[in-house]
Amino acid sequence: MELLFADDEPPLPGSDVPSPSIPPWKMLVVDDDPEVIAVTRLALTGFEFLGRRVQILSAHSGEAGREIFEREPDIAVALIDVVMETEDAGLRLVEFIRSGCDNHTTRVYLRTGQPGHAPVDRVIRDYDIDDYKEKTELTAQKLRTLLYSGLRAYRDITALQRQRDGMRRVILATSDILRTGSLREFASAVLGQLTELLGLRDTAIYCLVLPAQAAGGRSARTLAASGSLVQFADQGALDSLPPAIAARFQEALTRKESLHGDKDYVLYHRSFSGQENLLYVELTHPIASHERELLELYAINVSLTFENLSVMEEMQATQGEVVGMLGDAVEQLGTSSAAHVQRVARVSQALARAAGVDEATARLILLAAPLHDVGKVAVADSILLKAGALDPDEWAAMKAHTELGAELLARSRREVMQIAATIARGHHEHWDGSGYPSGLAGDAIPLVARVVSLADAFDSLASDRPYRVRWSDEQIRTYLQEQAGKRFDPQLVALLLGDFARYVALRAEVREA
């Protein structure tokens, strides 16, 4: 073993002291000779790479090596003896690492004291290894050189894998969040993925600065924040951020370029529409050029997504206003107030969320619910405004508003109108099958119709009508309990009554004009 120390050199003076908070690189030494393992440990005493020490794991057989790989998937480098309990134990272990564990990131180096048992050319050709050395070749310095090379390769391979996985997550996040129409959710998701991807601290913040308006200066919008900055996620002006970060953002805006510091990185990107994107991340180490490129890609991605979502949000807002005004107009024809449809819409959205409906559908319900009684435009005022009981012909005309409204709305191919048609047709169906127009029962009634039916009754009973005075909240609670399983979906009633105070408060937020 003397040759192992032939070229050993002391550590260079002034070398950085590794931080104890940074996890070490993991190295596995598999050899049936305890002295080889001991000498390897001694030769690598004090070794560090990129500020991280090396944790040396050891095994005395191929079988024991298997157990360690099953337990420790993040081994960076493995030094494996070929001949141990069998003449090919090391080769079998390599096969297990690559095929059994599907591990192609660990850098594997074979060592042998009996080269004749496994010829070098055949082993390198047939096995996925990085090198094959005789034990007498590995002096201490060569062992260190091998480890530097192996760790660099492992670092680069895992970085590429993280980038690939990160880009996949970014693409999936883009697709998912675009369906919900929430830029804040998108930015938060991708921000978390990015900091994990680059091995950064989880302290980061993303801001958007909109172009100056004619009536005032530029406005800022914080889209996402994490770590110690999460409390600033909903802030607007840059001067509401921590002074050091606000100063860095202002510097980037003035210079119109990204800023590279030892402890932080500020990314600057200007979109075609003039909006300026600012991303601040706290660094654990200086970032490489390919990591900067990924940060740039992130900013461009969020910037383009923001522009697309801004257009979509504007269209949805316009659509919502038109639907709301139409619903208000219908209600004013009858006995309800204009605020009724707004309250029904908001309660319906909240109830749909509680029932497990995804955010995109819940928003569509918010937009569609005001049109639940649109068919009443075809019902005579004498019927709508009648204070007494309706005769059979009048009641038939009143009930027809469900199908009339559904037929009117179904002419549109827009998703929100299709949902509105479903609601219009089904919001007077009863859970027990006693409703109209089709006498549907239970789950045969579309969920969106069941939700709006309950929300409509919840608000209507709290409002004055020509034929009755408003009910108290306690009367409404009792009535809903009695009608659970009869008129209303019992599970939806349980959700509403289980959080009754919140729904009462939500109803109160929209007041009469």
Concatenated DSSP letters of 468-506 = BPPPPHHHHHHHHHHHBTTTB-HHHHHHHHHTHHHHHHH
The arrangement of strands across the sheet holding 107-112 comes to 48-49, 52-59, 25-30, 77-81, 107-112, 131-134
Q: What is the residue-level pLDDT of the chain in tens, covering all 513 positions?
A: 433 433 333 333 333 344 455 789 999 999 999 999 999 999 999 999 988 899 999 999 999 999 999 999 899 999 999 889 998 899 999 999 998 898 999 999 998 877 656 666 677 788 888 888 888 787 888 999 999 999 999 998 988 887 777 667 666 655 655 555 556 666 676 677 666 666 677 788 878 787 765 444 567 777 778 888 888 877 667 878 888 888 999 999 999 988 888 788 888 888 777 778 888 888 877 777 767 777 777 667 666 666 666 656 555 555 555 555 555 555 555 445 557 888 898 999 999 999 999 888 898 898 888 888 888 777 777 777 777 778 888 888 888 888 988 888 888 888 888 998 999 999 999 999 999 999 999 999 999 999 999 999 999 898 876 667 889 999 999 999 999 999 999 999 999 999 999 999 998 887 654
| DSSP 8-state class, residue 128 | -
Alpha-carbon span 422 to 371, nearest angstrom = 10
Q: Are the CB atoms for 441 and 430 separated by under 8 Å? A: yes
Alpha-carbon span 277 to 298, nearest angstrom = 10
Q: Where does CATH 1.10.3210.10 sit in the chain?
A: 334-509
The residue among 382, 392, 369 whose CA lies nearest residue 451 is 369
Q: Where does CATH 3.30.450.40 sit in the chain?
A: 181-305
Instruction: Determine whether 1 is exposed, middle or buried from the number of CB atoms within 10 Å of its CB (0-12, 13-18, 19+).
Output: middle
| DSSP 8-state class, residue 204 | E
- Domain 2-157 grouped into CATH 3.40.50.2300: yes
Six-digit token string for 454: 């309950």
The residue among 362, 383, 333 whose CA lies nearest residue 455 is 362
Active-site position among 133, 135, 142, 376? 376
Neighbours of 436 (CB within 10 A): 17
Question: E strand or H helix at 224, and its extent?
Answer: strand 220-226
pTM greater than 0.75 (yes/no)? no
Q: Where does CATH 3.40.50.2300 sit in the chain?
A: 2-157
Per the annotation, the verdict on 135 as an active-site residue is no
Six-digit token string for 371: 């049109």
CATH number corresponding to 334-509: 1.10.3210.10
Quote the CATH superfamily of domain 181-305: GAF domain (3.30.450.40)
Q: Are the CB atoms for 416 and 408 separated by under 8 Å? A: no
Q: Are the CB atoms for 346 and 366 separated by under 8 Å? A: yes
Conformation bin of residue 171: beta by default, left when phi > 0, alpha when psi is -120 to 50:
alpha
